[in-house]
């Protein structure tokens, strides 16, 4: 009985298949698992800023932003930051979810919601919402599209309509005739001919609107009852259909070709997205993963080989060719064509050697010798012999001999072109079982470098070892190099370079000779010159002058430990370093060597470029093969870079201004002028560069016309701030530069208008002058008359006034002592008209303010705000008095203080200020225990020289100025809540008493990058 049931089931399945595929068979494609290795994969999840892991839709707008639909809101992505729009982002975003997305020809973003209708976000940021109350059939909007007439089609869970250009909601003709008034629309698509495709995912229920009325799609000859789930038309007119369960069909010039793209015959297969990339490959996303048709082959990409979740909801190709995949439960994934292909291995790769004669590549690793041919690992006699042995160096000699150096009982091996293998051991005269590097000279001698000396095996069979006793300053051999004259350069681990001719030391180069460092990693010849990589920079040897030119971190390398340099086919120098792998145009190195340049255009490489590794080691040896490809040896595998295929990115980034902050008020930017009130102190503008290839390597430069003379240095920061701008009109220019060095076109400048106070206007002072003159004349007249009238009375009150004056003077002296330093108060008391101005050599300045004060105070009454500030500032004042700190002033929620206001440079002001700062944190904690309003503060401290003095005659103020004050303010603004952020100057004076974090680099306006510390 069971057998009969199985037969019946099989026949039923076969019958269904035969009904599904009629005249033609499926296109047969070979599987290709290597296709995906050409891409760099980047996953984005909630930890990166996504509000949820379910992606419902993806689009890219005309500016270049990626918009993402999620159940938790609409998301805009610029390559670095995710910005979420929903009810929590503002009252105008009156929705929770974003299920379907599109941008129309007028630049509006349309968002279909799960059960809240559809929203239109205009270019000016305004939002208009349409719901069933306005006439759309259902508030659950599954799909959107725009037709050639500019109508916006809305497919819902129970009906179809479009919004015309004049805003009217129209039910298209033909639905009633087909009895489809309540049609469930799965997908809408408008092809290049103007036809609107309406897909339901149900067999035979695919419809087309040709501009007049809706009609049922005639179907495909290859399928009797197709269930169409997606349609895509190429520019050539070829149409692709996605069918359930596991097929896509190409219709080209009337001919149908069926492709079976199933993932292991899974029954839940539904094609939901079809795209075509720039190389002509077809990508089909389904609820089982991605299928790619390329070069007559099929690649399946799903949870088994890297896709976080098999359920693909939508795919797009952006303007740069990146492929974006939205997933049902796995967030968002980006596939980019990588510049570098990384092949992981279980052990560190120490050396690579390309054996053109044998057509193979040798890889020396910590776990043995490996051999590759045509991208596949192969075994041979040598790999089996050296299995499990640590291979340090592999080299091919000028006459085709292979040299293998290892840390083992057979430390040195030579393989002749004939295949004969010769082993060299301690018994044969090798100085150590640890051979680091080997060289065969043109005379036929072998030079074998070890940690305990240099072994020379002569062509005549003689064996000798050179050590300190033979003149080596350090006999730990790191590298060997033979120059054109037959001299052997021996790089050592701390003794510089020893140059040998015929086995004898001819001369020594070290730091005393001008070499960058005495620890030598590699020596090579580039463009006819010898370059030396050391632990403290890279040196070029100038033979004509017998001198060196050195480069290090001061030239922009970012590190001093340079392990190796290789120049590729395009003239780019690649350097492996302690910080990673970076490139620099070799022409810039040459320019610097001739004194024409000081800084280099350095480009570091990482995950976004396909270089996925923990780094390189100082002794690992990378190499360039016969095809010009560079093979990088890594601690966890190797990587291949092909300069001819990689090239530079074709698209320069595009600058977009996103938001601006005036003091603590934030606004979205839509291109209009930014107007600052006279009282506004600070403006900050947030911008981005829209490029999704190596977005993390984007840098920016900016200039504010009317304030800056030049563009700023390139920085990775995406926010620029200006404080206390004078009244006037300014224009901000921003440039973006991607990792390939391509610079954006100039962005339309941002116009900033700082309004003046009325007393800052010329006419105001003219009116004041005229009025003042009249008042003075009148006052003089009245004064004379009053003096005559009250002369007698004044004489009677002299004694009383004298007494009052004495009391007032006493009060004034007390007031001065409260607001000025004692010596300044005394000076002003004794000499009221004197100008107070002093230079102090070593003053420590502190800034602090309340985090989020503006937002916090917005929900408080004026009395509550003043009471809170008075309570907190009073605590600060008491502590300042206790610690001997000079309070300078408060501005709103900001507090400024100083210590070390003395002519002595060796004062303890920095230590006292640190005690004061720690006390302030304690005061805030004490305040929070008693107050219903919980606050946090940022503290910034800097130490240095400054100018102090008294400004004003009546409402005077004691203030301080100088770079020291400005940098202290920057420490506060770039600090973290409830942490003390100090400069290197303050750190140096207090590190003996306090423990700090490791130094961090901070971009400081006008100063560039500064090394700072957190207590």
CA 77 centroid distance within chain: 13
Give the pLDDT confidence score for residue 432 in this predicted structure.
Answer: 94
3-state SS, residue 860: coil
How many CA atoms lie within 13 Å of 784's alpha carbon, on the beta-carbon side?
A: 5
- CA–CA dist 535, 619 (Å, integer): 11
- Check: pTM over 0.95? Answer yes or no: no
Residue-level pLDDT at 717: 92
Q: How far is CA 931 from CA 382, 864, 868, 925, 956, in A?
A: 77, 11, 8, 10, 34
3-state SS assignment for residue 653? coil
Across all residues in the chain, what is the average pLDDT? 88
CB 307 within 8 A of CB 330: yes
Confidence class of residue 145 from pLDDT cuts 50, 70 and 90?
very high
Instruction: Decide if 603 contacts 584 (C-beta within 8 A).
Output: yes
pLDDT digits (tens, 9 = 90+) for 582-594: 999 999 999 988 8
102 contacts 141 by C-beta, under 8 angstroms = no
Helix 822-830 and helix 798-819, axial crossing angle in degrees, nearest 10 = 150
The stretch 866-875 carries a mean pLDDT of 89
pLDDT band at 185 (very low <50, low <70, confident <90, very high): very high
Backbone φ and ψ of 11, nearest 5°: -65, -40
Pair 189, 199: CB distance under 8 Å? yes
Q: Is 2 helix (H, G, I), strand (E, B) or coil?
A: helix
Using DSSP bridges, classify how beta strands 402-407 and 332-337 pair: parallel, antiparallel or unpaired.
unpaired
Predicted local confidence at residue 265, as pLDDT: 61
- Mean pLDDT, residues 206-214 taken together: 92
- Tell me the C-alpha distance between 900 and 908, whole Å: 7
Using DSSP bridges, classify how beta strands 477-482 and 488-492 pair: parallel, antiparallel or unpaired.
antiparallel
pLDDT tens digits for range 256-269: 999 988 876 665 57
- What does the pLDDT read at residue 931? 85
* 3-class DSSP string for 43-70: EECHHHCCCCCCEEEEEECCCCCEEEEE
Query: Which of 975-1014 are b and which e, b meaning 16 or more Cβ less than 10 Å from the residue's Cβ?
Result: beeeebbbbebbbebbeeebeeeeeeebbbbeeeebebbe
Q: Copy the structure tokens of residue 787.
A: 């003096």
Please report, rounded to a whole number, the percentage of residues in the chain having pLDDT higher than 70.
91
Residue 512 has a pLDDT of 94
Within 13 Å of residue 305, how many CA atoms lie on the same side as its CB?
15
Backbone angles phi, psi at 513, to 5 degrees: -85, -5
Non-local (6+) Cβ contacts of 486 within 8 A are: 441, 442, 443, 501
**Do 199 and 160 form a contact (C-beta atoms < 8 A)?**
no
SS3 category, 1007: coil
Chain-centroid distance of CA 823 in Å reads: 52
Strand segments (E) across 191-270 = 196-199, 206-209, 214-216, 228-233, 239-243, 247-252, 255-260
The DSSP annotation for 2-30 comes to HHHHHHHHHHHHHHHHHHHS-SSPEEP-E
Q: Report the C-alpha gap between 793 and 791 in whole angstroms.
A: 6
- Residue 210 scores a pLDDT above 80: yes
Contact 483, 525 (CB under 8 A): yes
pLDDT of residue 798: 61
**What residue has token string 């940021």?**
125
Cα R_g (the chain), whole angstroms: 38
H helices within 797-905, ranges in order? 798-819, 822-830, 853-857, 862-883
pLDDT in tens, 96-144: 999 999 999 999 999 999 999 999 999 888 999 999 999 999 999 999 9
| pLDDT at residue 17 tops 60 | no
* 20 pLDDT more than 70: no
pLDDT tens figures, 798-848:
666 666 656 655 565 555 555 666 666 666 666 666 667 889 999 999 999
CB 248 within 8 A of CB 274: yes
User: Which residue in 597, 518, 622 sits closest to 561, CA to CA?
Assistant: 518
| Distance from chain centroid for Cα 556 | 19
Distance CA 677, CA 183 (A): 55
Residue 334 pLDDT greater than 50, yes or no: yes
CA 736 distance to own-chain centroid: 12
DSSP 168-199: -EEPPTTTTTTT-TT----EEEE-TTSPEEEE
Residues 6+ apart with CB under 8 A from 625: 354, 361, 631
Q: Per-residue confidence at 237, pLDDT binned at 50, 70, 90?
A: very high
DSSP string, 280-314: S-EEEEETTEEEEEETTEEEEESTTTT-S-S-EEE
Q: How far, in Å, CA of 541 to CA of 513, rounded?
A: 11
Q: Are 324 and 41 in contact (CB under 8 A)?
A: no
Task: Decide if 354 contacts 331 (C-beta within 8 A).
Answer: no
For residue 670, give both structure tokens.
């839509």
- In this model, does residue 739 exceed pLDDT 50? yes
Residue 917, token pair as written in the block: 């700062």
Reply yes or no on whether the pLDDT at 19 is more than 60: no
Predicted confidence (pLDDT) at residue 27 exceeds the cutoff of 60: no
Contact 816, 828 (CB under 8 A): yes
**pLDDT of res. 804:** 63
Start-to-end C-alpha separation, the chain: 80
- C-alpha to C-alpha distance for 390 and 362, rounded to whole angstroms: 14
d(CA 125, CA 552): 49
The pLDDT-based confidence of 5 (bands split at 50, 70, 90) is very low
For residue 738, pLDDT over 90 is answered with no
Which range (147-151, 494-498, 563-567, 796-800) has the least confidence? 796-800
Length of the chain: 1015
Instruction: Please tell me the predicted confidence (pLDDT) of residue 846.
Output: 95
Q: Kindly report which listed range (694-708, 827-841, 942-956) carries the lowest average pLDDT score.
A: 827-841
Task: Give the pLDDT of residue 263.
Answer: 75
Average the pLDDT over 450-456 and give the result: 95
Residue 367: its pLDDT value, please?
Answer: 94
Q: Of 514, 510, 560, which Cα lies nearest the Cα of 538?
A: 560
Give dist(CA 927, CA 656) in Å, integer. 42
pLDDT tier at 238, thresholds 50, 70, 90: very high
Q: What is the pLDDT of residues 403-424, one digit of tens each?
A: 999 999 999 999 998 889 999 9
The SS3 of residue 963 is helix
503 backbone dihedrals φ, ψ, rounded to 5°: 80, 10
Measure the CA–CA gap between 789 and 381, rounded to whole angstroms: 125
Q: Which helix (H) or strand (E) element contains residue 774?
A: helix 762-796
**What is the reported pLDDT for 803?**
64
- Residues 748 and 671 sit within 8 Å (Cβ to Cβ): yes
Mean per-residue pLDDT, 559-570: 91
Average pLDDT over residues 751-768: 86
Range of lowest pLDDT (260-264, 454-458, 563-567): 260-264
Write the CB contacts of 225 (distance below 8 Å, at least 6 apart in sequence). Answer: 19, 20, 203, 204, 219
Closest CA to 162 of 116, 203, 122, 214: 214
Q: Which two tokens stand for residue 591?
A: 């320019």
Of 485, 483, 565, nearest to 522 by C-alpha is: 565
Rounded Cα distance between 297 and 329, Å, is 28
């Amino acid at each position: 009985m069971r057998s009969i049931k199985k037969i019946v089931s099989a026949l039923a399945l076969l019958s269904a298949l035969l009904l599904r595929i009629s005249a033609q068979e499926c296109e047969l494609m070979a599987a290709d698992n290597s296709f995906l290795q050409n891409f760099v994969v980047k996953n984005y999840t909630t930890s990166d800023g996504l509000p949820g892991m379910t992606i419902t839709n993806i689009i890219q707008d005309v500016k270049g932003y990626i918009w993402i639909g999620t159940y938790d809101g609409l998301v805009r992505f610029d390559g670095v930051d995710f910005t979420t729009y929903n009810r929590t982002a503002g009252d105008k975003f009156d929705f929770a979810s974003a299920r379907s997305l599109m941008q129309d020809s007028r630049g509006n973003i349309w968002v279909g919601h799960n059960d809240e209708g559809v929203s239109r976000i205009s270019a000016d940021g305004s939002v208009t919402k349409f719901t069933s109350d306005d006439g759309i059939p259902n508030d659950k909007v599954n799909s959107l599209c725009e037709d050639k007439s500019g109508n916006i089609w809305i497919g819902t869970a129970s009906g179809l309509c479009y919004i015309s250009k004049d805003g009217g909601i129209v039910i298209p003709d033909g639905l009633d005739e087909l009895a489809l008034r309540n049609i469930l629309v799965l997908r809408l698509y408008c092809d290049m001919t103007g036809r609107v495709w309406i897909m339901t995912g149900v067999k035979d229920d695919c419809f087309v609107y040709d501009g007049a009325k809706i009609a049922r799609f005639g179907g495909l000859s290859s399928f009797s009852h197709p269930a169409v789930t997606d349609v895509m038309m190429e520019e050539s007119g070829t149409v692709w259909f996605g069918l359930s369960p596991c097929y896509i069909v190409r219709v080209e010039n009337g001919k149908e070709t069926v492709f079976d793209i199933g993932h292991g015959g899974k029954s839940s297969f539904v094609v939901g997205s079809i795209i075509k990339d720039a190389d002509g490959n077809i990508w089909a996303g389904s609820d089982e993963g991605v299928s790619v048709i390329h070069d007559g082959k099929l690649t399946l990409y799903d949870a088994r080989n890297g896709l976080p979740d098999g359920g693909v909801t939508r795919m797009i190709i952006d303007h740069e060719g990146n492929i974006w995949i939205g997933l049902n439960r796995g967030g968002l994934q980006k596939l980019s064509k990588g510049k570098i292909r990384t092949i992981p291995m279980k052990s560190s790769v120490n050396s690579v050697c390309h054996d053109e004669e044998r057509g193979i590549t040798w890889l020396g690793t910590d776990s043995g010798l490996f051999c590759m041919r045509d991208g596949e690992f192969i075994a041979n006699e040598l790999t089996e012999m050296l299995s499990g042995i640590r291979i340090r160096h592999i080299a091919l000699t000028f006459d085709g001999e292979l040299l293998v150096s290892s840390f083992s009982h057979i430390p040195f091996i030579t393989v002749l072109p004939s295949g004969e293998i010769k082993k060299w051991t301690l018994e044969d005269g090798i100085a150590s079982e640890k051979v680091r590097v080997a060289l065969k000279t043109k005379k036929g001698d072998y030079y074998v470098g070890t940690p305990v000396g240099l072994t020379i095996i002569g062509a005549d069979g003689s064996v000798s070892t050179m050590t300190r006793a033979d003149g080596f300053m350090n006999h730990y051999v790191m590298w060997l190099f033979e120059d054109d004259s037959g001299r052997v350069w021996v790089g050592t681990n701390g003794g510089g370079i020893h140059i040998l001719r015929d086995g004898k030391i001819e001369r020594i180069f070290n730091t005393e000779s001008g070499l960058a460092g005495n620890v030598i990693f590699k020596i090579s010849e580039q463009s006819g010159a010898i370059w030396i990589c050391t632990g403290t920079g890279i040196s070029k040897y100038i033979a004509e002058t017998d001198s060196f030119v050195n480069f290090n971190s001061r030239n922009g390398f970012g590190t001093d430990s340079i392990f190796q340099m290789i120049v590729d086919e395009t003239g780019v120098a690649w350097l492996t370093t302690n910080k990673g792998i970076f490139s620099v145009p070799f022409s810039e190195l040459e320019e610097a060597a001739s004194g024409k340049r000081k800084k280099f255009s350095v480009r570091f490489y990482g995950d976004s470029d396909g270089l996925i590794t923990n780094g390189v080691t100082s002794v690992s040896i990378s190499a360039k093969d016969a095809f010009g490809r560079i093979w990088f040896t890594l601690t966890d595998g190797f990587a291949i870079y092909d300069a001819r295929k990689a090239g530079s990115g074709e698209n320069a980034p595009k600058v977009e201004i996103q938001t601006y902050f005036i003091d603590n008020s934030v606004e979205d930017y839509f291109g209009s002028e930014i107007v600052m009130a006279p009282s506004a102190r600070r403006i900050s503008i947030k911008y981005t560069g829209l490029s999704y290839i190596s977005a993390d390597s984007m840098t920016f430069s900016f200039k504010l016309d009317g304030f800056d003379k030049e563009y700023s240095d390139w920085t990775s920061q995406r926010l620029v701030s200006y404080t206390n701008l004078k009244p006037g009109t300014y224009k901000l220019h921003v440039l973006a530069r991607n990792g390939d060095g391509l610079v954006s076109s100039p962005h339309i400048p941002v116009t900033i208008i700082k309004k003046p106070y009325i007393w800052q206007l010329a006419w105001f002072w003219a009116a004041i002058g005229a009025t003042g003159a009249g008042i003075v004349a009148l006052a003089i007249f009245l004064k004379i008359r009053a003096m005559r009238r009250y002369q007698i009375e004044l004489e009677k009150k002299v004694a009383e006034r004298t007494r009052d004056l004495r009391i007032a003077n006493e009060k004034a002296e007390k007031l001065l002592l409260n607001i000025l330093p004692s010596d300044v108060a005394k000076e002003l008391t004794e000499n009221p008209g004197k100008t107070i101005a002093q230079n102090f050599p070593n003053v420590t300045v502190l800034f602090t303010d309340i985090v989020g004060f503006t937002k916090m105070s917005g929900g408080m009454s004026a009395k509550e705000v003043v009471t809170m500030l008075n309570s907190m500032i009073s605590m600060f004042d008491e502590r300042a008095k206790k610690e001997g700190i000079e309070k300078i002033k408060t501005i709103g929620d900001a507090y400024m203080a100083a210590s070390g206001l003395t002519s002595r440079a060796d004062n303890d002001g920095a230590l006292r200020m640190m005690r004061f700062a720690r006390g302030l944190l304690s005061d805030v904690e004490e305040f929070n225990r008693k107050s219903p309003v919980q606050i946090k503060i940022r503290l910034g401290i800097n130490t240095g020289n400054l100018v102090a003095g008294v400004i004003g005659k009546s409402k005077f103020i004691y203030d301080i100025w100088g770079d020291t004050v400005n940098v202290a303010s920057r420490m506060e603004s770039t600090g973290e809540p409830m942490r003390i952020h100090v400069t290197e100057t303050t750190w140096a004076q207090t590190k003996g008493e306090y423990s700090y974090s490791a130094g961090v680099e901070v971009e400081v306006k006008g100063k560039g990058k500064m090394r700072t510390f957190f207590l």
